[in-house]
Amino acid sequence: MLTTSSYDQLKSAQIAIGKLNSTKPSIYRKFINIIKVTRQLQFGYQYMGSLIMDEDPGKFNPMSQDDYVLSVYYREIENLKTDKKFLDLKQLLKTHNQLSYANISKLALGENPEALVGPTLVR
């Protein structure tokens, strides 16, 4: 799937992420931690976003992974989803889902929106 992101869309998402960080730092920190774990395990951000948003992650499943590692990852996702401020994060992801979970994750990690402008291949 190919998504295209404009600078304005990315900047809007960056502002929303900054607002989440300043108003709801606990859920922001948990989200950042999930992003970092996703990156460390070399899972796709689309897989992570699908799990967080209760979408079908089927086509984004990791190729092969130890059952224990997956169970720990799923437990961390569920821990995020049970946070009382999770709805704020879910709304942010829903509002900006046209950007791809990868671009949202990169913005949350501090990537410059200018570097993310243009077409992105979502795997």
Choose among 35, 3, 4, 1: nearest CA to 17. Answer: 35
**Is 3's pLDDT higher than 60?**
no
pLDDT at 15: 97
pLDDT at 1: 47
Q: Quick: pLDDT tens for 58-100.
A: 888 887 778 999 999 999 999 999 999 999 999 999 999 888 9
CA distance readout (Å), 51 to 17, 62, 67, 104: 19, 12, 16, 15
Report how far apart the first and last C-alpha atoms of the chain are (Å, whole number). 7
CA distance readout (Å), 20 to 13, 25, 29, 36, 39: 10, 7, 10, 18, 21
The SS3 assignment for 2 reads: strand
Q: What would the mean pLDDT of 17-46 be, rounded to a whole number?
A: 96
pTM of the model: 0.88
Query: What's the token pair of residue 82?
Result: 């049970």
pLDDT at 117: 82
Query: What's the token pair of residue 114?
Result: 């200018």
